[in-house]
Amino acid sequence: MMTNTSREILIAPSILAADFANFGAECEAVEAQGADWVHVDVMDGHFVPNITFGPDMCQALRPHIKTVMDVHLMVAPVDPYLEAFAAAGADVLTVHAEAGPHLDRTLQAVKALGKRAGVALNPATPAVAIENVLDRIDLVCVMTVNPGFGGQSFISGMVEKVRQLKAMTAGRDILIEIDGGVTAETAPEVVAAGADVLVAGSAVFKGGSVAAPEAYGENIRAIRRAAEGAIGIRA
């Protein structure tokens, strides 16, 4: 189900950069403009120094998302909230490797809820952190900024981590997702290194709005073109 043998590049706009007073329409607008997934950043003000929203907001968003609701849980402890986010309609539940001492148990819980399981790695966390849970995951998310805020600069040292993860996950149905500072300029090197899913907040929502969504489409196409160009796919 998560196989990406054709090496299709998926663009996942992060609604962290959307109009917070208009999330439903924003999700519909980015999907209409070519988004493959919608990335939802849940922040708890404890694991990360910012607070966004919880399961009720995800549930309210769900009818406005036709593609994949990709929920990034920047929450610690995360286990007590997995059921609520699953019930809210998440398709992918990504937890942080740093968010608790029992990652294997957390991933078992995500799978038991019938969801695709992702693990996010902060910039300081090495690729090897997922080596012993490869059988339990569908996605690994490489944080290319320190989580908590949109609009930060891409940490280029993470490209080597993507390369290591690509080798580590070879032959498995595990997608490599990149999150933070993704633009048409930074996308090519991570895609060349092995990335499949590109999360982008500011770079997708800049210059547009629900009333003028064409800019979202242009931004998504620019990232996709740059990404696909890096691996020889012609748009």
Which of the ranges 12-20, 60-68, 121-129, 207-215 carries the binding residues for ligand DX5, by CB under 6 A?
12-20
**Residue 147: is it exposed, middle or buried by C-beta count within 10 angstroms (0-12/13-18/19+)?**
buried
Concerning whether 179 is annotated as a catalytic residue, the answer is yes
The amino acid present at 103, given as its one-letter code, is L
Q: Is the peptide bond before 77 cis (omega within 30 degrees of 0)?
A: yes
Answer for which of 117, 200, 223, 226 binds ligand DX5 (CB under 6 A) is 200
Q: What residues from 105 to 144 belong to the interface with ligand DX5 (CB under 6 A)?
A: none
Tokens standing for 175? 């997608």
72 near Zn ion (CB under 5 A): yes
- 44, 70, 138, 179: the active-site residue: 179
Q: Where would I find the beta strands (DSSP E) of 64-196?
A: 68-74, 92-96, 116-121, 139-143, 175-179
**Residue 155: is it exposed, middle or buried by C-beta count within 10 angstroms (0-12/13-18/19+)?**
middle
69 near ligand DX5 (CB under 6 A): no
**Which CB sits closer to ligand DX5, 106 or 122?**
122
Concerning whether 36 is annotated as a catalytic residue, the answer is no
> What x-and-dash track marks residues 203-222 binding ligand DX5 by CB under 6 A?
x-------------------
Binding site for Zn ion (CB under 5 A): 41, 72, 179
